Structures are given as C-alpha cells and as structure tokens.
C-alpha cells in the first residue's frame, strides 16, 4: 500500500475543500510536503492553517478533494467519479504515520506522565510494556522530564505538560509530526524551553514537520519552507530567509509587519 519511493511527497493536498457551514475555510487547496521537510504555515487567524493540521489528523472531515500520506489516500478517495469515505481500519493504518502536539497539551489526567507516554505504544503499536517504558524513559530524558515520570499531569506546569505531550507524540514513532501552536498557551519565559526541545528534535531526526506557530524566529530556525495563508489559499511560498526578510506579496508584508511589530 505504501509507495515509499523517494519522489512521493509525505503529504499531498489535492483540491481540498473544507467548509464550516457557509464559511469556506479551504478552497481547493493544493500543496505538498516532501519527506523530511519542515514546513511552517503562517497567516492571520481564520486563514485555515490549523484546519490543515486537523484534517491531517482526521479531527476534521474534508468536504472535497484528496489528502494523501506517502501517496496513500487517507480520508477519502475517488471510486469512479464518486468521492467515498475510507474505512476506519485503513484510515488507522495511515494515521499511524502521523502524530500531533496540541496547543492545550491534552494530556490524559487519569494517567501519570509515564502512563500517558506508554498507553498508545502498548495498545496501538503492540509493544511490550518493558519496551514501551524503555523508549518512554529515553524520550523523557530527551525532553528533560525524567524526574517527573510518576507525576500526575496536573501536578505539572504548562511547559512541563507540553514537553510530555511532545514525548508522547514521539513515542509513536511518527513519520510526520504536526505542531499546532504548541507554545501559544505557555507563559513567555517557558516558551524558549519548549522550543529548545523541538529544535533538538528537528536537528536529530528526519521527521517531516508541519507547524503552525506565531514564533517567527523559531519558524526561521527550524523550517526550510514557509507557506503564507490567507482566506484558505496559499498567497506566498518561500524559504524562511526570503519570507521573513523580503516577502514578495503585499498581504505577507502586512501580516509580518503586524506580527513582528516593525
């Protein structure tokens, strides 16, 4: 099922349409992300960035078009000329390759830090407990949370919770990691810690990353491509250097001026 040839993009959107009621959030969106790419989505709120991540995580259903992961249709496919749902079982197979970190962390409060991390590897990936715990401990070390292993999640600060959430997503060995405004709910002094963890992951792995963030410096450091969205369309696409120093589109210039305050 997997078309793992190097030319196949990790993520591909083909004419994807997403509406909420009458509000068209994504209007026949086309773009693709190559394997190992780090792509930042920027743009004003309501421009459809988060919707893209949520579609990729199957938290929203598209109203038209195709979303492909490694060339495999993910949520819908065309059979003849009919647009049909992909059954949950096949969807789960593809979803295994995608992980997500949320703005609000969404750790499970009924579990400890360690239990949060090993739950899915054991029950979804079928790892043994020993194997899952060993991997979880490596990840906790990586995010600097080893000493909080047996804490309940609401005994942790926001920054600590987010670091656990990152470890939890990585424990599933995703090929694609979606980061949805992961620092927006954090106190300013903690943001740097979490971004540091993510920088390290970007440096040491070849995970494909798709991120929505308002941290422009971080976007610049981590990503190799930036897409500027407005009203559900890509208005500009460039490498971070060009995008942040010499944006071509008027809309991008306005947006960056407002965000960066210069």
Residue numbers at the binding site for other proteins (CB under 8 A): 57-59, 92, 95-96, 98-100, 102, 104, 106-110, 119-120, 123-124, 152-155, 165, 168-169, 172
CB nearer to other proteins: give 165 or 194: 165
Distance of closest approach, residue 30 Cβ to other proteins, in angstroms: 25
DSSP 21: T
Minimum distance of other proteins from residue 120's CB (angstroms): 4
Angle formed at CA 171 by CA 59 and CA 224, multiple of 5 degrees: 70
Cβ-contact 34, 12 below 8 angstroms: no
Q: Which is nearer to other proteins, 61 or 241 (CB)?
A: 61
Q: Find tokens 């598209």 and name the residue.
A: 62
CB of 109 to other proteins, least distance (A): 5
Q: C-beta of 233: minimal distance to other proteins in Å?
A: 26
Contacts of 31 (CB under 8 A, 6+ apart): 12, 13, 227, 234, 237
* 99 versus 247: smaller Cβ distance to other proteins: 99
Nearer to other proteins, 34 or 120 (CB): 120
- CA torsion sign, 98 to 252 to 250 to 18? positive
Name the DSSP letter for residue 146: G
Q: Which is nearer to other proteins, 78 or 108 (CB)?
A: 108
Give the shortest CB-95-to-other proteins separation in angstroms: 5
**In this structure, are residues 83 and 64 in contact, taking their beta carbons and an 8 Å threshold?**
yes
Residue 81 sits at φ, ψ, to 5 deg, of -110, 15
């Amino acid at each position: 099922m997997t078309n793992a040839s190097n030319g196949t993009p990790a993520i591909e959107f083909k004419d994807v349409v997403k509406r909420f009621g009458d509000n068209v959030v994504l209007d026949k969106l086309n773009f693709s992300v190559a394997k190992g790419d780090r792509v930042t989505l920027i743009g004003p709120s309501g421009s459809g960035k988060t919707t893209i991540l949520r579609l990729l995580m199957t938290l929203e259903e598209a109203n038209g078009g195709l979303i492909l992961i490694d060339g495999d249709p993910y949520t819908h496919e065309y059979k003849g000329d009919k647009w049909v749902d992909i059954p949950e079982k096949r969807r789960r197979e593809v979803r295994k390759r995608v992980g997500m970190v949320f703005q609000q962390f969404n750790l499970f409060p009924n579990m400890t830090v360690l239990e949060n991390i090993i739950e899915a590897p054991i029950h979804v990936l079928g790892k043994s407990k020993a194997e899952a715990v060993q991997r979880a401990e490596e990840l906790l070390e990586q995010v600097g949370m080893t000493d909080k292993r047996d804490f309940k999640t609401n005994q942790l600060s926001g920054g600590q919770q987010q670091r656990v959430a990152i470890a939890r997503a990585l424990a599933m060995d995703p090929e694609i990691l979606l980061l949805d405004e992961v620092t927006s709910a954090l106190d300013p002094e903690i943001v740097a810690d979490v971004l540091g963890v993510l920088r390290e992951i970007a440096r040491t792995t070849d995970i494909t990353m798709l991120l929505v963030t308002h941290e422009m410096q971080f976007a610049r450091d981590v990503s190799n491509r930036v897409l500027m969205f407005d009203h559900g369309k890509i208005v500009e696409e460039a490498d971070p250097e060009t995008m942040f120093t010499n944006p071509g589109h008027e809309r991008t210039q306005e947006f960056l001026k407002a965000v960066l305050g210069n």
